[in-house]
Amino acid sequence: MKKTKNPLLFYPMPKEGESFKGYILRLANRNGFTELKRFLYIFRIIQLPKRIFIVGTDEYYKFLNIISESSNVQQDKLDAFFAFEKEVQTIDDFSSEHVHLDTPQICPFCLAEDQYLKRDWQSLYFTHCYKHESKLWDRCLNCKKSFVWDGKLFVGCTNCNFKWSHFRPLADAPLPASQKSLGEASGECKLNLMQIIKQHLKFGLRPFDASFQNLRDIKKYVLNLEQHIEFAYQLAHSKEVLTELRKARKEHWQKKTFMTENLAILEQVEAVNDKWFNQVGAKTENFISAPTTPKEATHMVLTAHRRLNVDEDKACLELLWEQVCSVLNLSEKHVKDLIKQAILPGRMHKNSPKKVSPCRIDDLVLFYKIIKKIAKPLELKNDAIQYKSYIAWGNDRALAKHKLNTKKLVEYVLSGDVSLFAPDHDEHLFDDFCFCEEEVRKINLLQSQNLHLENSPNQRCA
């Protein structure tokens, strides 16, 4: 970017609360340029880089310096007008995803009164105009087309030229609580509210919904962003909303996985889920205690091959390896081996056969039903001798004495070589399956004999 040899004729100062990109558009429009691309060309900016409009980047400061030198206004003085916008873009992490830069978002009534684009309109967390208690729009209600960053936007639609002065109020619902709070807040308080909403957007706000890895996914996949943001705000401030969400999630996955009789596995998964929900209100009984960064395949991320769910019927609940191993009471290595051997339902990577993804909740339920159908009923009474004659599923320390482990015994169980026992009811976990120690001893003996035959001189000669 170079300083133009022909300074602009007009250099209006930024207005209080004006967005930086909105100010540049107003500056261009004041000098007869309706298109930003043509306006930036005079500064030798051939393309329209997004980063010059992200307050705080090096590109932003270089561009601001050119404006400062051309207008004879100190750079610090100009920068001060956009200090809060920089704070918004650095909530938790520096990102342009906290604001709408691709498509402008406006209040037609405000533009009809004063022709400048307000900073709050471009914030991801604002869906309504606090002053007029009306929705913010990113597309024209007349022609249904999205707005573009064009000077015509100050007086009307950038596509059909419908004038904002002709715009009439719609029968909007009352101002959502999140928008009322954001509209009344200022400074650090407003930033804190935005941060709280952002943190709670990562929760699955519908029973089948996803916890999103980043704001880009939220903006891309959430069809009703207004409702999503409002619910995130409610989740942060209402124990009742949190309780209802947890209840709805449990009921949904109980129905989805047909776990009407056995809730133990689902409750074990939800017990891990609780540690995330318990962070809501950990200190103040209202706000989340610390930023959370769930990974892409957490128990709260409902994906179909790492794609976010929009449709309830196709939603699936992926688990962490930690969760899968906890439910199965097996090591991660053994779980992956079972998936690779197609014994345990799982997700293989087509392009990387050696890689596997964690099971989903329905995979664990299916595997449980298969094992339960094979298992023989067992009543464990208060008989110490009888109890000691069995080794519990996942007790690899006890099985190690026989040079075996649960993963190996699962293979023998499915082949019919070893019996598996289970309580005579359905409300139990994998830990309650067990193996007869006498059969385990025989398998170990058989393995030793086969190994001896393989290593004997006669066998090698043969």
pLDDT digits (tens, 9 = 90+) for 84-122: 998 888 776 666 678 888 899 999 999 999 999 999 999
Report the pLDDT averaged over residues 192-209.
75
Report the pLDDT averaged over residues 260-267.
66
Report the pLDDT averaged over residues 66-93.
87
319 vs 198, more confident: 198
Query: What is the per-residue pLDDT for 291?
Result: 35
- Residues 252/362, Cβ–Cβ less than 8 Å: no
Query: What is the per-residue pLDDT for 232?
Result: 86
Query: What is the per-residue pLDDT for 58?
Result: 86
Report the pLDDT averaged over residues 331-358.
82
Confidence band, pLDDT 50/70/90 cuts, at residue 357: confident
Query: What is the per-residue pLDDT for 423?
Result: 87
What percentage of the chain has pLDDT greater than the value 70?
A: 73
318 secondary structure, DSSP code: B
At 280 the three-state DSSP class reads strand
Q: How far apart are CA 445 and CA 199, in angstroms?
A: 56
What average pLDDT is seen over the chain?
Answer: 78
Q: How far apart are CA 96 and CA 84, in angstroms?
A: 14
pLDDT digits (tens, 9 = 90+) for 358-399: 777 778 888 888 899 999 987 654 444 455 688 999 999 999
Query: What is the per-residue pLDDT for 381?
Result: 47
Query: What is the per-residue pLDDT for 116?
Result: 95
64 vs 448, more confident: 64
Query: What is the per-residue pLDDT for 379?
Result: 66
Q: How far apart are CA 350 and CA 124, in angstroms?
A: 37
Predicted structure pTM score = 0.67
Confidence band, pLDDT 50/70/90 cuts, at residue 126: very high
What percentage of the chain has pLDDT greater than the value 90?
A: 31
Angle at alpha carbon of residue 280, lines to 274 and 284, rounded to 5°: 135
Q: Is 144 left (phi over 0), alpha (psi -120 to 50) or beta?
A: left
- Is 267 a residue whose pLDDT tops 80? no
Instruction: State how far the alpha carbon of 51 is from the alpha carbons of 46, 102, 147, 433, in Å.
Output: 14, 12, 20, 58
- Is 282 a residue whose pLDDT tops 50? no
Query: What is the per-residue pLDDT for 393?
Result: 94
Q: How far apart are CA 336 and CA 271, in angstroms?
A: 23
Domain boundaries, the chain: 1-169, 321-372, 375-453
Confidence band, pLDDT 50/70/90 cuts, at residue 292: very low
Weakest-pLDDT range from 110-119, 204-213, 287-296, 452-461: 287-296
Confidence band, pLDDT 50/70/90 cuts, at residue 409: very high
403 vs 304, more confident: 403
- Is 205 a residue whose pLDDT tops 70? no
Query: What is the per-residue pLDDT for 285?
Result: 45
458 vs 449, more confident: 449
Q: How far apart are CA 433 and CA 110, in angstroms?
A: 67
- Is 50 a residue whose pLDDT tops 90? no
Weakest-pLDDT range from 190-194, 235-239, 301-305: 301-305
- Is 286 a residue whose pLDDT tops 60? no
- Is 252 a residue whose pLDDT tops 80? no
pLDDT digits (tens, 9 = 90+) for 144-162: 999 999 999 999 999 999 9
Q: How far apart are CA 210 and CA 372, in angstroms?
A: 31
- Is 44 a residue whose pLDDT tops 50? yes
Q: How far apart are CA 106 and CA 118, in angstroms?
A: 8
Report the pLDDT averaged over residues 405-413.
92
210 vs 52, more confident: 52
Weakest-pLDDT range from 182-186, 339-343, 456-460: 456-460
- Is 178 a residue whose pLDDT tops 70? yes
Report the pLDDT averaged over residues 226-233.
87
Q: Cα(first)–Cα(last) distance of the chain, in Å? A: 81
